[in-house]
Amino acid sequence: SYEVSQPVSVSVALGQTATITCEGDNIGKKHVHWYQQKPGQAPVLLIYRDSARPSGIPARFSGSNSGSTATLTISTAQGGDEADFYCQVWTSGTVLFGGGTKLTVL
């Protein structure tokens, strides 16, 4: 069965750029979506179809997808960006979430 994997944690200095990866076999052939979840809150859609941003999501958040890795990039990281981030794909009648990545802004 298909699997997607994310790093458990990523740290970034305030104002710098963070990258969070989502790996899967030929994931570049699938659409990857990203969610941000802050403690005690519901997830929020951050990026859909690899690189599209819903209205209201800052341009600091961007996505890409190629080969075996999809990437979420957070530019000019802010303290308010600290959260759990999940990638998600749809494959063979199943929705799969990555295990989640905890972003810490130092």
Partner 1 sequence: EVRLVESGGGLVRPGASLRLSCAASGFIFSDYTMNWVRQAPGKGLEWVASISSRSDYIYYGDSVRGRFTISRDNAKNSLSLQMHSLRADDTGVYYCARDGGMAAYYFDLWGLGDLLTVSS
Position 57 contacts partner 1 (CB under 8 A): no
Residue 9: name the closest of 1, 17, 21, 24 by CA: 21
State the residue for tokens 């699997």.
3
Q: Does residue 53 bind partner 1 (CB under 8 A)?
A: no
Distance between CA atoms of 13 and 4, rounded to whole angstroms?
A: 26
Residue 79 identity: G
Tell which one of 18, 74, 77, 100 touches partner 1 (CB under 8 A). Answer: 100
Q: Which stretch binds partner 1 (CB under 8 A): 10-18, 59-67, 72-80, 95-103?
A: 95-103
- 34 within 8 A of 87, measured Cβ to Cβ: yes
88/2 Cα distance (integer angstroms): 12
Name the residue nearer to partner 1 (CB basis): 3 or 16: 3
| Nearer to partner 1 among residue 64 and residue 96 (C-beta) | 96
Is 59 a binder of partner 1 (CB under 8 A)? no
List residues near partner 1 by CB under 8 A. Answer: 31, 33, 35, 37, 42-45, 48-49, 54, 84, 86, 88, 90, 93-100
